[in-house]
Structure 1
Amino acid sequence: MRKHHAQQLYDYHVWANDKFFARLKELPEDIYIQEIQSVFPSIAETLVHMYMVDTIWLGVMKGNSMAEIQASIASVQEITKDNQLQKMEKLFQDLSAEYQTFLHHESDLDKEISPEHPQFGRLDTQLSELVQHVVNHGTYHRGNLSAMIRQQGYASVANDYVFYLYEGKAEK
């Protein structure tokens, strides 16, 4: 059975994040926390941001209240304080497993949802569009990570969607 496109896109998101973690483990440890002039002050802070946003959007997709989402933000801030690479990789893996469970058990990934944001108001959208947003957000920041790695004198890692397809990761 063919996966829903949103599930396939999320699988790509996980694959691309895994590529970065594998590459970062190959590089000298200090580049992970080295402060540089970029969108975020370090690779570590970029990963914390990505993890935070992925956590928030999973809560939104699950229909969590704003209070629950704010509690998840506080929790993420606490558990990512030391932001060590291996710990961040494990956090990403655990969150990915939560997403996969949610996406697998959701019967209608195109269903209409209307999350409320305290600043931006109500958004009438589809669940699959929010998955697309999570993937786009990750892609944007993986571009930042590539630039940050190169800025420190190292090659990054190919992680475009087409490479995911070429590796045969997508289920037909």
Structure 2
Amino acid sequence: MTHDSLRLYKYNVWANERVFQRLQEVPREVCEQEIQSVFPTITQALKHILLTDHVWLLAMKGDTYENVGKTVGRLSQELEGKGLDEIHAGFIDVSKKFKDFFSQIDLNATAPYSHPTMGTIHAPYSDIIQHVVNHGTYHRGNISAMLRQLGHAGASHDYIYFLFEESQKQNS
């Protein structure tokens, strides 16, 4: 289980990088162009993924719901007006924090997660990693659809592409 969770998180980081690589290839204004979609802009979708990653990292570290809200609110304000490069740097930073945290815990251990209206669950860290990856995958799909809607190809970030790339690295 632990190996699978770490591989999935590695995929998540890889897939985010694929999206940023693709976004570097389109005109910068595309990321800020407003469209009728799940998010008004690609930049807003990226910020949502980044902020949600912070939510779950803080929750996994045992921070309270209230403190997570305050911290993420502050981070959201700091992201206001930030462009693609700063957002990308935020993704790199949070992935390093996740990896550092993973090195300090047993990924199969269970931790409590409390929500003011949904109550408290006890879930293995590996389940929360799965949630973070699923959330990122969903919204990377939104970004690909938004790019297509704006007349540009999306990024190829399917898990199978990651597996093939990893296999090629191991065989070279």
- TM-score interval (norm. to shorter): over 0.9
The match for 1:82 is 81
1:114-157: CA deviation from partner (whole Å, max 9, x where unpaired): 21111211112111000000000000000000000011111111
CA distance in 2, matches of 1:41, 1:97: 28
Q: Is the aligned partner of 1:166 residue 2:167?
A: no
Superposition deviation, residue 3 in structure 1? 6.3
Residues 3-18 of structure 1 mapped to structure 2, 5 A cutoff:
4-18=3-17
Question: After TM superposition, which residue ranges in structure 1, 4 or more long, deviate above 3 angstroms?
Answer: none
Give aligned pairs, total: 169
- What amino acid sits opposite 1:123 in the alignment? I
* Cα distance between partner residues in 1 of 2:58 and 2:79: 18
Q: Does the residue aligned with 2:103 lie in a helix, a strand or coil?
A: helix
Specify the code of the residue in structure 2 equivalent to 1:63. G
Q: Which amino acid aligns with 2:144?
A: S
Residues 62-118 of structure 1: per-residue CA shift (max 9 Å, x gap)? 111223212211221111101310000001100110001011221x10111121111
The answer as to whether partners of 1:110 and 1:128 remain within 8 angstroms in 2 is: yes
Structure 1 CA distance, aligned partners of 2:140 and 2:9?
14
Q: Would the aligned equivalents of 1:52 and 1:76 in 2 still touch at CA under 8 Å?
A: yes
Q: CA 1:3–1:167 in 2, change beyond 3 Å: closer, same or farther?
A: farther
Q: Which has a greater percent of helix?
A: 2
Q: How many Å separate the matches in 2 of 1:44 and 1:118?
A: 29
Superposition TM-score, scaled by structure 1 size:
0.93
Report the equivalent of 1:34.
33
Task: Choose which of 123, 126, 134 in structure 1 pairs with 2:124.
Answer: 126
Q: Identify the residue that residue 73 of structure 1 maps to in structure 2.
A: 72
Counterpart CA distance in 1 for 2:134 and 2:73 is 24
Cα RMSD, aligned residues only: 1.6
Instruction: Report what 1:138 is aligned to.
Output: 136
Identity among equivalent positions (%) equals: 38
DSSP 3-state at the match of 1:114: strand
Which shifted more, 72-81 or 92-101? 72-81
Give the C-alpha shift of residue 26 in structure 1.
0.9
> Partners in 1 of 2:65 and 2:42 — Cα distance?
29
The CA distance in 1 between the partners of 2:66 and 2:149, in whole Å, is: 39
CA contact (8 A) 2:108 2:126 kept: yes
Matches within 5 A, 1:148-167: 148-167=146-165
Q: What per-residue deviation string (whole Å, max 9, x for no partner) do you get for residues 25-74 of structure 1? A: 11001110000011010100001111111000000111112232122112
- Unpaired runs of at least 5, structure 1: none
